[in-house]
Amino acid sequence: MRAITWLPLDPSDAAAAIRKFDGYAKLQGILQGRALDLPTLPGLVIDSFGVTDRDLNSLISEARKLHPHRLLIRHDRSPEIGQYPQGGYLISIEETWAELEWYRSQRRLLILLYPADPIDNLYSAAVTITSDRVMQLEIVGPGFDASDLNRGFISPFESHRYILDAAGCSRKISSSYVHGQAYATAKSLRLRKIALKFIVRRRFIKVDEISLEDAISLIREGQLTSRRQIQQLLGNVNYVAAPPAFIRKITEFGGRVAALLNDPGYCENLIAFSASQIENGQRTVVWDIVSPRRKYGLI
């Protein structure tokens, strides 16, 4: 593995790169999304153990090609362990080396991505597709992100179930939506998570370590209350369902991901992926594609 590696943009190059990162489930999932020509964020993979102090200037130079000032942090480990730190937060370019050293202490690769701010996400989805071609969409709204679903932090605000035909086209068979009280509870949990993750910068989060009042105070001190999604979390408003255009896009992605279940080399009966509307809804990106065997070591 090279010390600094760009994530391939070409789908065929991404497919070839999957094998080079055997054992790194998240990284392989990112590459799988690119291999299917799904929209993903550009980024760099940093081998925490292969990079030395002599590489600092070249690392910063390459990182600035993603963005001159900020980066989105993700990470991976092989083998993964049960308790792993929270990624999905922004850092300044100047913080890159300190982040690298911390993840090195955790025996993790560092993944630097184009800085899509999680607080600017609108709707996010976690999708599961089974071998009987049933696709389950779970969605959260503005102020939340895909990690809230993927880590089991909250329940989805809306769920939709579809049947996929052989061509990948979908037909809805059921839907459900969040109750008002459950949504209010989820918003209070999310505000506490935002305070701990993005302001205090905790990598391991237990929301009961902070009260809602203290969380809101930190969010105000961090000058986040002018952000539209934060205002929605703070306000007494009901959940607004995801726009049909977003759901259509996710189901179209699902049809393409489902094709992997027909691949003779895949050998599994379930596949999942997550996606978000980033930059206040300007575009939708896929975060990664997950297989049980790859992520959990299941046969």
Q: 247-273 as b/e, with b when 16 or more CB fall inside 10 Å?
A: bebbbebbbebbbbbeeeeeebeebbb
> Could you tell me which of 66, 71, 101, 105 has the C-alpha nearest to residue 87?
71
What count of other Cβ atoms lies within 10 Å of the Cβ of residue 152?
A: 8
Kindly report the CATH number assigned to the domain that includes residue 148: 3.30.470
Domain boundary among 84, 115, 146: 115
* Bridge partners, residue 125, by sequence: 139, 275
Q: Are residues 253 and 157 in the same domain?
A: yes
Domain boundary among 234, 261, 277: 234
Q: Are residues 86 and 226 in the same domain?
A: no
Confidence band (pLDDT; 50, 70, 90) for 297? very low
Q: Are residues 259 and 163 in the same domain?
A: yes
Q: Are residues 101 and 133 in the same domain?
A: no
Whole-model pTM? 0.93
Q: Are residues 79 and 157 in the same domain?
A: no
Q: How many domains does the chain divide into?
A: 3
Better pLDDT: 268 or 146: 146
Q: Are residues 94 and 217 in the same domain?
A: no
Averaged pLDDT of the chain? 93
Structure confidence at residue 188 (pLDDT) = 96
Instruction: Identify the DSSP state of 197.
Output: I
Confidence band (pLDDT; 50, 70, 90) for 295? low
- Chain centroid, CA 91 distance in Å: 16
- Chain centroid, CA 172 distance in Å: 25
Q: Are residues 99 and 216 in the same domain?
A: no
Domain boundary among 100, 115, 130: 115
Token pair of 55 as six digits:
């590489």
Mean pLDDT value across residues 42-63? 91
For the chain, where are the E strands, in sequence order? 4-6, 43-46, 70-76, 89-92, 109-113, 124-130, 134-140, 158-164, 170-177, 270-278, 283-290
The domain containing residue 87 runs over which residues?
4-115
Q: Are residues 106 and 23 in the same domain?
A: yes
Residue with tokens 């007494």: 236
Q: Are residues 204 and 263 in the same domain?
A: no
Q: How far apart are CA 41 and CA 59, in angstroms?
A: 18
Q: Are residues 108 and 56 in the same domain?
A: yes
Percent of the chain with pLDDT over 70: 98
Cis peptide before 79 (omega within 30 of 0): yes
Q: Are residues 44 and 95 in the same domain?
A: yes
Q: Are residues 149 and 174 in the same domain?
A: yes
